Structure 1
Amino acid sequence: MHGLVFTLLKRYVQTQYDHSTWVRLLEAANLTAADFDHKQVYPDEHMYALVGQAAQMTGLSADELHEKFGEYLVPDLMYMYKRLVQPEWKTLDMIEHTENTMHRQVRSEHTENAPPVLEVSRISPTELFIDYKSERRMGALAVGIVRGLATYFEEADQIIVEPTTSENGEQVRIRVRQVPAQS
């Protein structure tokens, strides 16, 4: 997994808790690196160990933690890839174009990286399905990112995200619908 994800995870933990929580989390996960280099790639097992220990420390499930972290990632991801985003895009458009824009960019710049494959089917102007495919089994992270996108585009009260399969499988189907804004 790309070191940038670990760097952002560290910041997330420090923001939500504190630096000592990050240190305790590293120790509990038997990881010695206090800092991850954002340009390096690390074994996926490092992320599994950190999230597993965080779940034990917080009492939240790994899926809940992945979702919260996914939401947290969005502003940084949008900043990093802003040159690829069309100004008229909103939440559903962003999801529809992620595979052919951001993921394509990641794959071309970092051949050792393997972001999940997202097959998006636009059912109507207000609904789509995401078929997430990854051996990492982090569909909950994708669910969190979708929720984070809705917040980013100020559509959180209009976007409904419904995983229709288990969020920790290699293949996860996520239904995303836009409903009229609440007044």
Structure 2
Amino acid sequence: MHGTIFTLLKRYVQTQYDHSTWIQLLENSGLTATDFDHKHVYPDEHMYRLVGQAAEMTGLSADELHEKFGEYLVPDLMYMYQRLLQPGWNTLDMIEHTENTMHRQVRSEHAENAPPVLNVTRIGPDELFIDYVSKRRMGALAVGIVRGLAKYFDEADVIKVEPTTNENGEEVRIRVRRIKPTA
């Protein structure tokens, strides 16, 4: 997993808790603060250990932590890839184009990077399905990112995100739809 994700995880923990919590998390995981640099790729096992320890420390499930972290990531991801975005996009458009814009860019910059494959099927103007495919089994992170995108595009009150399969699988189906606000 790319070091940038670990750097953002560190900032997330420090923002939600404090620096000493991050240090304790590293120690409990058997890792050191010098392990992560945004220019390198690290074993996925490091993320599993950190999230597992964070779950023990907070009492939240790993899926809940992945979702919260996914939401947190969105503003930074949007900033990093702003040159690839179209001004008129909304939440559903962003999801529909992620694979052929951001993920393509990530794969071309670093051959060892392996973001999940997102097979998106647009059902209509207000609905789509995401078929998330990754051996990392972090579908909950994708769910969190979708929720974060809805917040980013100021659509959180009208975007409904529904995983239709277990979020821990290598293949996860996520239904995303825009609902009509109630009057």
Whether 1:89 aligns to 2:89 is: yes
After TM superposition, the score normalised by the length of structure 1 is 0.98
CA contact (8 A) 1:158 1:182 kept: no
Counterpart mapping for 1:1-183 below 5 A: 1-34=1-34, 36-183=36-183
Moved over 6 A (4+): none
Give the letter for the 1:94 counterpart. Answer: M
1:77, distance to aligned residue in structure 2 (A): 0.2
1:34, distance to aligned residue in structure 2 (A): 4.0
CA contact (8 A) 1:120 1:130 kept: yes
Give the letter for the 1:170 counterpart. Answer: E
CA–CA distance in structure 2, aligned partners of residues 67 and 116 of structure 1: 15
CA contact (8 A) 1:26 1:34 kept: no
Identical residues among aligned pairs (%): 81
**Count of residue pairs brought into register by the alignment:** 183
After TM superposition, the score normalised by the length of structure 2 is 0.98
CA contact (8 A) 1:23 1:34 kept: no
CA–CA distance in structure 2, aligned partners of residues 54 and 182 of structure 1: 37
CA contact (8 A) 2:23 2:33 kept: no
CA–CA distance in structure 1, aligned partners of residues 73 and 134 of structure 2: 19
1:181, distance to aligned residue in structure 2 (A): 3.0
Give the letter for the 1:96 counterpart. Answer: E
CA contact (8 A) 2:119 2:131 kept: yes
1:33, distance to aligned residue in structure 2 (A): 3.2
Give the letter for the 1:160 counterpart. Answer: K
**Match of 1:119, SS?**
strand
CA–CA distance in structure 1, aligned partners of residues 33 and 86 of structure 2: 38
